[in-house]
Chains A and B, each alone.
Chain A
Amino acid sequence: MKAVCWMGKSNVETLTVKDPELLNPHDAIIKITRTAICGSDLHLYDGFIPTMESGDILGHEFMGIVEEVGKEVTNLRRGDRVVVPFTIACGNCLFCRKKLWSACDNSNPNAHLMEAAYGYSGSGLFGYSHMMGGYAGGQAQYARVPFANVGPLKIESNLPDEKVLFLSDIFPTGYMAAENAQIQPGDTVAVWGCGPVGQFAIASAFMLGAARVIAIDRLPERLALARGLGAITVDYSEEDVSVLTALKDLTGGVGPDGCIDAVGLEAHSAQLQGTYDKIKVALLMETDRSSVLRQAIQAIRKGGTLSIPGVYGGLLDKVPFGAAFGKGITMKMGQTNMHNYMKPLLERIENGQIDPSYIISHRITLDQAPEMYKVWRDKKENVTKIVIDPWAETAA
């Protein structure tokens, strides 16, 4: 089959590799009909996530048709159409029973690597480094899905792939981000980063009762989508714009009730601290650029809640913890507990409350993926979301 492989920092290739096979009794093999490149794949592309190795198949947002099931798979059969969550969960450990699916004890074959780095291991993820399980990803024509009784969501309606594909990660991730911001009806919520997760965080914040959402980015195409959802936008790259002042101005001097950092470890900053972080990362004195996190802690109102769906991987420098303590804020974060959200969010799509495909800007083939990683990383061609048809020979 064809698959998009990570071959080193800033080096992705579409290669022919062997087809996946059933390895465990609860496995299923999925013939992938649509897959996507995630903003968090760019962290891999840029070499920020340790334990990526040459030859790793990328991709964790995919859906398709069940091709084959292992002998213990009872929920699925050949021909079922499914969306696959990017976190792999066993369904039986203490954490799965507590519905903390992304903290599953039993799905990471390389748990010892993550234990060494983080103290305890989270669940395995598709296509997201050896530390996170070393599983082959879904930017390919087929994928092996472990614990297939627990994860894949069956799509029984005739909704097109593009409307349900984002249930694999970014819609639930944006939704959990809004839920983690503990939004009360009437709240004002600020969202840093208007990429796909930021978009769904904005939409979900409104669904959960926000009166006003303020969206912060620098890319016109993303800011336009955010305004389309009803957010007020702040372009931090404009001359004379201070995000802190803007958020004060727009909240009557109170600050946002909830802040969502949908950027994570590769934050850009128009200020001097952007340069400071780039130098420290280059010198290996910090691993993550945290200018958004710093700003959000500074901007949030007293007693507010900071939600962090943006990915962080390692060590941060100069995080204003005194401000966090002084204002008594709450912070919530982590990989998405996917399995809690897929079904309810599918219902919202089926009811016509939201059409997630509005963010798609590019439809490509597997062979075009390497080029498009670069295009998106360099923020060219107004990319907002790239979807791949793994069986197409020529681009749509």
Chain B
Amino acid sequence: MSPALNEKPHAEAPPAMGPAGMIVDGRYLPPPEDKDGKLWVRTSTLIQAAPQDLYAMWRNVETAPNWQEQITKVVMTGERTSHWVMDSDGKTIEWDSEVLADEPGRRIAWRSIGGDSNNAGEVIFEEAPGGRGTTVTVLQEFRMGKLASAWETFVGRNPKQAVIENLRHFKALAETGEIPRIQRQPHGDRGLIGKMKSSSYGEKIPTPSGSN
């Protein structure tokens, strides 16, 4: 490092490598490009909770339906494998998933191993600079297969946005013990346009149960 600046009272040493390929040799890198039928999404959030607790909450995959949209059931089928069921408008998608890397309190990586979805991803939990909580970064890839197309047609949420929304629900549940929701509240007649708009706002997708 250059000796030009010698006064940095609160600076933290910059990481040579950041989560999910975000920093390499001190340089920011954008997420991988979508190509050859593969979609990538990288998103992050800041959560006021300890990395260990957030890791435990994520690793307990059988509770994923509490915060992941349209996931109705997850069952552990082995120490590192689980079976996932996703449901929307009565249509069901199922797949198996396997944990590839498991670093307690820090990182989980997974991939699907057969079924109606072809996806892989990782989640990284790191203390944020300045002691401001835990940064949670998700990098996920999808093959455009039955999952993505089904997701887009009947969920009205593209799979990239779904990953972003799920991380938002995870944060709300971790920080407040619930997920904000407005479904089932009273309103006057929506009319035809109102119903269409409601769909386009994503308000038709059932908000996951949270702690309810």
Q: Is the CB of A94 within 8 A of B133?
A: yes
| CB–CB A17/B186 < 8 A | yes
Chain A contacts with B in 245-262, Cβ cutoff 8 A: none
Q: Knowing A25-B177, A92-B176, A106-B172 touch, does A53 contact B189 (C-beta < 8 A)?
A: no
Q: Is B212 an interface position by the 8 A CB rule?
A: yes
Interface centre among B189, B190, B198 (most CB of A within 10 A): B189
8 Å CB contact of A92 from B175, B190, B210 = B175
Among residues 186 to 212 in chain B, which have CB atoms less than 8 Å away from a CB atom of chain A?
A: 186-191, 193-194, 197-198, 201-203, 207, 210-212
Assess whether B178 is interfacial by the CB under 8 Å rule: yes
B168's closest neighbor in chain A, by CB? A111
> Given the complex, which residues of A lie within 8 Å of B161, measured CB to CB?
112
The answer, yes or no, to whether B153 is at the interface (CB within 8 Å) is: no
Which of B171, B178, B212 contacts A105, CB < 8 Å? B171
Contact with B along A81-125 (1 / 0, CB 8 A): 000000000111110010000000111111111000000000010
- Binary CB contact string for chain A from 9 to 36 against chain B (1 if under 8 A, 0 otherwise): 0000101011111011110000000000
Interface band, chain A: 35 or more
Q: How far is the CA of A140 from the CA of B187 in the complex (A)?
A: 11
- Place the interface of chain B in its size category: 35 or more
The residues of B that contact A15 with a CB separation of less than 8 Å are: 188-189
A63, B123: Cα distance in complex, Å: 43
In the complex, whether A237 has a CB less than 8 A from a CB of chain B is: no
Most chain A CB atoms below 10 A, which of B161, B188, B211: B188
Name which residue of chain A comes closest to B164, CB basis: A112
Q: State how many angstroms separate the Cβ of B133 from the closest Cβ of chain A.
A: 6
Q: Is A54 an interface residue (CB 8 A)?
A: yes
Tally of A-B residue pairs with Cβ under 8 A?
124
Q: Say yes or no for A130: interface residue by CB 8 A criterion.
A: yes
User: Is there contact, CB below 8 Å, between A106 and B171?
Assistant: yes
B165 located at the interface, meaning its Cβ lies under 8 Å from any Cβ of chain A in the complex: yes
Asked whether A135 is an interface residue with its Cβ less than 8 Å from the other chain, the reply is yes
A23→B181 contact, CB < 8 A: yes
Q: Is A144 part of the contact surface with B, judged by Cβ < 8 Å?
A: yes
Tell me whether A166 is interfacial, beta carbon within 8 Å.
Answer: no
Q: B2 in the interface, Cβ–Cβ < 8 Å?
A: no
Cα-based distance from A174 to B133 in the complex (angstroms): 33
Q: Which residue of B has the minimal Cβ distance to A113?
A: B201
Q: Is B61 at the interface (CB under 8 A from chain A)? A: no
A298 within 8 Å of B by Cβ?
no
Asked if B203 and A55 sit within 8 Å, CB to CB, the answer is no
Q: Does B185 contact A (CB under 8 A)?
A: yes
- In the assembled complex, B63 has its CB within 8 A of some CB on chain A: no
- Contact present for A92 and B48 (CB under 8 Å): yes
19 pairs from A and B in contact (CB 8 Å cutoff): A17-B186, A19-B186, A25-B212, A53-B194, A54-B194, A56-B187, A72-B178, A93-B175, A93-B176, A94-B132, A107-B180, A109-B207, A112-B164, A112-B168, A112-B202, A134-B182, A136-B185, A140-B186, A144-B185
